[in-house]
Amino acid sequence: MSVEYREEPCRSALNRVQGMGFKWSLNPYMGCVHRCTFCYVRAFERRADRPSDDRYGTSIRVKTNIADVLRKELARPSWQREAIALGAATDPYQPAEGRYKLSRACIEIVGASGSPLRIITRGPMIVRDLDVLVEASRRADISVTFSIPTLDVDIWRKTEPGTAPPHQRLRALKELVDAGVHVGVGMAPILPGLSDRPELLEDVVRAARAAGATGVWANLLYLKPGTKEHYLRALERDWPELLPEYERLYGRKAYIDSSEVRAEVRALTTKHGIRDRRRVRLSPPPEPEQLSLAV
């Protein structure tokens, strides 16, 4: 897959967020080469009249000046040191970070400001920045969430085609935990008929516990226009037998009740001795509106 990287300055670094457990998001890049079939950002791309189909992830905007802009925004007298989420709309540790190091710079700046920072990623590359994470954690409340919906290799390959394997994320998680960083696991999205099987849920929780995760949370798949069309086409290709059930479940709505799956995951975290100390959710909430992102 050919990827275009567009180096473009930004006028603002922080984006106001609604309906989440944090008020501000920070995205050094726009677009994501992980190209997960279920990515909820596709819905925002469609709403902004940008490609949400197979072209999504082939053009990445690199906000080359984001560190300087962020430094100025956090230095304002009006800044109240509210929680910031790094990676709410794109993975901050996708391959572009290896060259541009914008996420690393942002972590250093947020840590120096004393503001809480919540990082969500599927990228094991984050271990490269262990030094700045440890230093930032001395000054601010810093936590990392690794998104690991499943350990099933077939489901991972077909639904998260551009990501590192789940076992690599778990190794990175353990390395961060061993260094004293708070790291949890987000089982999101759990896919009805696929990754919601009890044994698969327990596999993730058991592995998270073995790696030292400080918490585990879960959410079911969320399908808004843009995401829905792309995901259902992928489902028809890979698991056509499930298509009628998805059309029934999501025919007239973007989300379904997640309470049963969440309760099951909570029970599994208790069973395996995971003490959930981190309650901030960096995933689409089960409401009609997820985020309001200024991009």
- CATH code (residue 247): 3.80.30.30
pLDDT (tens digit, 9 = 90+) per residue, 34-74? Answer: 999 999 887 777 766 777 677 787 889 999 999 999 999 99
Residue corresponding to tokens 């994501």: 32
Establish if 153 belongs to a structural domain: yes
Helix (H) / strand (E) element for 188: namely: strand 182-190
Looking at residue 257, its pLDDT comes to 93
Q: Which of 66, 63, 50 is nearest to 6 (CA)?
A: 63
pLDDT at 283: 42
250 inside domain:
yes
Domain range for 258 is: 4-271
Mean pLDDT for the stretch of residues 202-210: 98
Mean model confidence pLDDT for the chain = 90
22 or 147: which carries more pLDDT confidence? 147
Judge whether 286 lies within some domain: no
**3 Cβ contact list (under 8 Å, min separation 6):** 33, 57, 58, 59, 60
Residue 211 is assigned to a structural domain of this protein: yes
* Confidence category of residue 280, pLDDT binned at 50, 70, 90: very low
The answer to the question of residue 25 being in a domain is yes
52-66, 94-108, 146-160, 166-180: least confident range:
52-66
Position 217 confidence tier, pLDDT thresholds 50, 70, 90: very high
Which tens digit of pLDDT belongs to each residue from 230-274?
A: 999 999 999 999 999 999 999 989 999 999 999 999 999 999 999
**What pLDDT score does 52 carry?**
66
Q: How many domains does the chain have?
A: 1
User: Does some domain include residue 281?
Assistant: no
Reported as a pLDDT band with limits 50, 70 and 90, residue 21 is: confident
The number of beta carbons lying within 10 Å of the beta carbon of residue 212 is: 15
Tokens of 194: 């696929």
pLDDT band, residue 288 (cuts 50/70/90): very low
Kindly state the average pLDDT of the residues 184-213.
Answer: 97
Instruction: Please indicate, yes or no, if residue 115 is contained in any of the structural domains.
Output: yes
> So what's the pLDDT on residue 284?
41
- Residue 47, pLDDT score: 66
Say if pTM beats, i.e. exceeds, 0.85: yes
* Distance separating alpha carbons of residues 74 and 227, to the nearest angstrom: 33
Residue 285, pLDDT > 50, answer: no
- Residue 142 domain flag: yes
